[in-house]
Structure 1
């Protein structure tokens, strides 16, 4: 097993001293894993990301990134939000280079990466001139340029049409395999979780004391047709049933 890059040790968290959302939660994510996180709305998925990024601090317990408990985790992980949040007054090149600019670093290597991300020729365009899929590529590039080996992706494809979404899923897998990063990916789409992930974490209780875990029995590289395997269809039905039980309880 690879080394852990993200560890929650007995983490408890609540907003304004109200009922706990997480209670003594222990989780480990390992180097180069692709983890999808599923659960009903309001179950704590986004709270988990806010704790990892350092936007929130645990009431008790420890959060370690690459084995280190940082006083501030801001900037220790790359983050790609649901909306691309590109600045409309900045060019694509300027938007992509923003993480380097914030860190006071030069950005000579951004142009080759734009080409690698399928964005050659649009460097001087503005976000409103690009398709949704291309804007999400810029957003993912910004997360990569954070320099972290841990990337958090919060439903990044939910606003895309079905065909573009499938294309972006395949593209994301290719980028992940090439860059050898660790990805945590929030989604409401069970098919998406099965196609992308090594493991799936399920938020199924409140407060969250333990994340249910499903290992995806698909080898890599993967193809969308792999989701039609009988074992995967059965696993999909089980996951959907678990999520339905959470919604109806």
Structure 2
């Protein structure tokens, strides 16, 4: 396996031939087991990056590799967790979590047996027979994340998964996510508009600063691991936060 979980090499993309490019010769790497956040103004191309990685859109030039492999069809080679949980309301917690395993060809019995073994680790023990309408927002996101992990990939794309949660639940989910990331040894690419969230979670942060996107401004978070939420108030991190906010402010058009 490559030491890079994800590689973009001179990748270009536009939605229609002849239109202005969204990406133009973009190159970046995500290391194995790394947590990287992407921040930038709305419409800057963050979700486009995810569509290209998942294979929902195809790049017009360059190379995209996952774990060192270039696939003709990237669908199924990464796990994707959208902003909305997309849980099926007619399926129980257990049935929703088992869905990716069933799609991969596992029998319902085998899929559910595997999920049962993970319920406690994901904080879902005791609610496996409930339906999504009976659960809190944080609980729904735990199910969605479990389903993403069960995609089988070590590369996960999380698209603002906590943006709809209240502030206290959001902090609890951030801490929980870091715990799961460390246990599963995952590579995570995380889209957020929240600078504090990016600083707390990430090893590095990519900032969109131009259109079309040819490169990112890259910031290394000056925090070791393990870390706590209070650590983002250290002088070193506060300095980085000010720089990030200034970068973002300069790109916002009123």
- Which range, TM-score by smaller chain? over 0.9
Q: Partner residue of 1:5?
A: 5
SS at match of 1:113: coil
The reply to whether residue 239 of structure 1 matches residue 244 of structure 2 is yes
- Whole-Å separation in 2 of the counterparts to 1:248 and 1:89: 43
Q: Which residue, out of 171, 175, 178, partners 2:180? A: 175
Q: Deviation of residue 78 (structure 1)?
A: 0.4
Q: Deviation of residue 137 (structure 1)?
A: 0.1
Listed one character per residue, the Cα deviations across residues 2-54 of structure 1 (whole Å, up to 9, x for unaligned) are 81110011100000121000001111111000000000000000000000000
- Whole-Å separation in 1 of the counterparts to 2:235 and 2:9: 37
Q: Which residue, out of 201, 226, 232, partners 1:227? A: 232
SS at match of 2:59: coil
- Whole-Å separation in 1 of the counterparts to 2:145 and 2:46: 20
Query: Which 10-residue stretch deviates more, 123-132 or 98-107?
Result: 98-107
Structure 1, unpaired ranges of 5+:
none
- Whole-Å separation in 2 of the counterparts to 1:98 and 1:19: 39
- Whole-Å separation in 2 of the counterparts to 1:90 and 1:193: 33
- Whole-Å separation in 2 of the counterparts to 1:36 and 1:22: 18
Q: Partner residue of 2:72?
A: 71
SS at match of 1:157: coil
Q: Deviation of residue 194 (structure 1)?
A: 0.2
Q: Which residue, out of 155, 161, 166, partners 1:161? A: 166
Q: Deviation of residue 237 (structure 1)?
A: 0.9
Structure 2, unpaired ranges of 5+:
none
- Whole-Å separation in 2 of the counterparts to 1:237 and 1:91: 44
Runs of 4+ with >4 A deviation = none
Q: Partner residue of 2:16?
A: 16
1:76-91 to 2 correspondences below 5 Å:
76-91=77-92
TM-score, L = length of structure 2: 0.96
Q: Deviation of residue 248 (structure 1)?
A: 3.4
Q: Partner residue of 1:37?
A: 38
- Aligned pair count? 248
Q: Partner residue of 1:145?
A: 150
- Whole-Å separation in 2 of the counterparts to 1:19 and 1:168: 38
Q: Deviation of residue 74 (structure 1)?
A: 0.2
